[in-house]
Amino acid sequence: MYVLALEASTTSAKAMLYHRDTGETIVKTRNYPPMNSVEQDPNIVYDALCEASRDLMEQHSDKEVGIVAIGGTWHSVMLLDDDFWPTTPCYAWNFTGASSIAQGHRTDSQYIDKYYRKTGGIPNASFPFFKLQYLASKGHKLWRSRIMGQGTFIFYRLTGEFASSESMASGTGLLDITSRAYDPAHLEVLGISEDNLPRVVPWDEAAPLSASGSKRIGVPEGTPVLPAEPDGSLNQVGSGGMEPGVMSMSVGTSGALRLSSNEPKLDPRHNVWCYLGAENWLSGAATSGGTNVLDWYKEQHLPEGLSYKEMEKGITPDIDSPVFLPFVFGERSPGWDDTRRGGFVGLEPHHGWKHMVAAIREGALFNLKQSFQALMRINDEPEQIILSGGILHSPKWTQMAADILGRTLLPTEEAQNSLIGAALLGAQALGQGDAADYTPPLLDPVTPNSQSVQKYLAKFGKYLDAYNKSGA
C-alpha cells in the first residue's frame, strides 16, 4: 500500500508515491508558470499540483494508494467568497504589505510579550494575523469572507472540508498554542468569528477524497486525505527529528532551524518562534535570506550565463570580504524587524564581485548563527544537526556552514525531506509504523575546520557590529 504525498511549495508542485516497507519513492515535479511568488494565484498552484499527481498516477497505475498526505507553506493566507472561490491572491510567507502594522505593534513591549506567549509568534508581516489587518485596511470585508492558506485550500478542493491541521493553524498568529483554539481576542481585532476560519483538527483527522478531487489527482474516490501540514513541520519529521535532540537545519530559499519539544519553549527575548508540530511543539528560528539572496545578486548584478560553480571559485575563509546583511527581503529571526533592509557594509575599492559573493554566503549563515545562539538559550545542545536544502548543491557553502556554526553537520541524502515527512505521517495513519522511528539516509558528516572556525568568528564579530548599528 502506497502513500501519495502532495506538496505545494513556493515555486513548484510535487507528488510522491512512497512505500513504507521498501522505502521506494517516485517523484513527479511540475513548476508553476511564471507568476508573482509573493502574491500567487491559488488555483494555478492547485492545478499544477493536480497535474503532477495525475501524471504520476497515470504512469504508475499499478500502485495502490491507501492515503493522501498534503504539505504546504506556513503563513500563507487568502480570502474567499461563500462558494469558496478566491477573491484575493494567496499572500505567501514573504509578503511584506503588513510591515507598518506589525512595526506599530512592536513599539509596545507588553503587547509583544502577551502576543508571543499566546501564539508563539512575534509581531511580523509574515503572520496572517497582521496580513489580515492589512487587507481590512484596504477595504476587504473580512467578516464576509472565508479565510485560509494555500495548503488548507488544497485540502478543501480535494475533500470539500473546511479544516486546518493544528500545526498549520499555529503558524497563522491566530491560534493559542496551549489551548489549540483560535484566540477570541485576536478574532475580535479582525471583526471575524471562528466560522470565517477553518476548524482546527489533529493531523490525523482524515477526510474522504471527493469525486471531483478523484478526477483531478487520479486516485479513487473515498481515499482518506490528511489535512495539510506545513513544510517546516514536515521537514522536521523527514529529518528524523520528531523526538527532542535532533535539530533540522534547512538552507533553501530561506533558512530555518527547528527542534522538537514536549512542551512549549518560549524565549524571554522573543527571538525565536514556537508552533505546534504534528505530535508535539516545535521551537525554531526562520530567516528571510537563504539561497534567495545569492540568486538575487546573480540575477541583478552578474553577467548572464555565469554558473554558480564559477561564482564560488577562489572563495576561502581568508578572502577579504565586506559584511553583508542578508535582509534584502526583510528580517525574521532574530530581530523580526520587517523594516530592516540588507546591504554591504565596509565596501572598499578593491572589492569585486567575488568578495561580494563570499560576503553574501557568509551573511546568510551569520544570520542563522544568530538564530542558533537564540535557540540554544532555551534548548539543550542538539545531539545531531541534520542539514538539508539547496545549500547542499555547493560543498564549499556546506563546509562554510559547519565552520560558521562550529558544529558537525549531517547532510541528508534525501532531497525531499518535507515530502518524506508527509509520506511518513500518511504511513503512520495507515498503521504502517511510527513516523518518530524514522532515520533519514545521511551523507558523510561535515566537520568544522578549527582554523576556519576562528577566522569566521572574527568575521562574525564584524557582522554583529554592523547588524546592531543597522537596527539603531
**Residue 399, CA atoms < 13 Å, CB-side half-sphere:** 11
pLDDT of residue 472: 56
pLDDT of residue 122: 93
Average pLDDT score over residue span 38-62: 97
Please say whether the beta carbons of 245 and 382 come within 8 A: yes
pLDDT tens-digit readout, 149-174 = 999 999 999 999 999 999 999 999 99
Q: What architecture is domain 240-411+442-472? A: 2-Layer Sandwich (3.30)
The superfamily in CATH containing domain 2-232 is ATPase, nucleotide binding domain (3.30.420.40)
Cell readout for 219 is 486516485
d(CA 287, CA 131): 18
**For helices 231-238 and 417-429, angle between their N-to-C axes, nearest 10 degrees:** 80
Average pLDDT score over residue span 296-306: 94
Amino acid identity of residue 374, one-letter, is: A
Query: For a pLDDT cut of 70, what percent of the chain falls above it?
Result: 100
Please say whether the beta carbons of 281 and 275 come within 8 A: yes
pLDDT at 339 over 90: no
pLDDT at 418 over 60: yes
Q: Average per-residue pLDDT in the chain?
A: 96
pLDDT tier for residue 46 given thresholds of 50, 70 and 90: very high
Average pLDDT score over residue span 88-101: 94
pLDDT of residue 338: 82
pLDDT at 350 over 70: yes
pLDDT at 11 over 90: no
pLDDT of residue 471: 77
Pairing state between β 65-72 and 229-230: parallel
Domain with CATH 3.30.420.40 in the chain: 2-232, 240-411+442-472
pLDDT tens-digit readout, 104-116 = 999 999 999 999 9
pLDDT at 72 over 90: yes
pLDDT tier for residue 94 given thresholds of 50, 70 and 90: confident
Average pLDDT score over residue span 407-436: 95
